Structure 1
Amino acid sequence: RRDQLYREFQQIVYDEQPVIFLMAPQGRILVHKRFDSFTSVVNPGYFPELYPLQYEAPMPE
């Protein structure tokens, strides 16, 4: 039942959408000298496992 409701909802959204976005702007989603940044079109959200550390910062005492 739930699967059928999701399918109906998706069909309604598809039928009623005013435009279809075929591209998304790219932009930096992380800026800090400790991380290697990269350009991503992921929005919203991010994936922290994709941001490698350049070096480990010392822990405050």
Structure 2
Amino acid sequence: AASQRRPLILDEAGQAAWLDPETPLHALQALLASEPAALRERVLANMVNDPKLNGPECLTPG
């Protein structure tokens, strides 16, 4: 089953706000509520889960 998590993709200003411990909570929540970036999801071969592998073969469709 696919995870319910999604990546948080931020521009430079968003990155700075996310990493700044002084950023108010409401501003961080606004970053989380932003529209998700246009990403594609695809199934990959199980080899992508092997931390010893780090090459283009990890992108083989599953």
TM-score, length of structure 1 as denominator length:
0.28
Structure with greater proportional strand content: 1
Structure with greater proportional helix content: 2
Tell me which structure has the larger Cα radius of gyration.
1
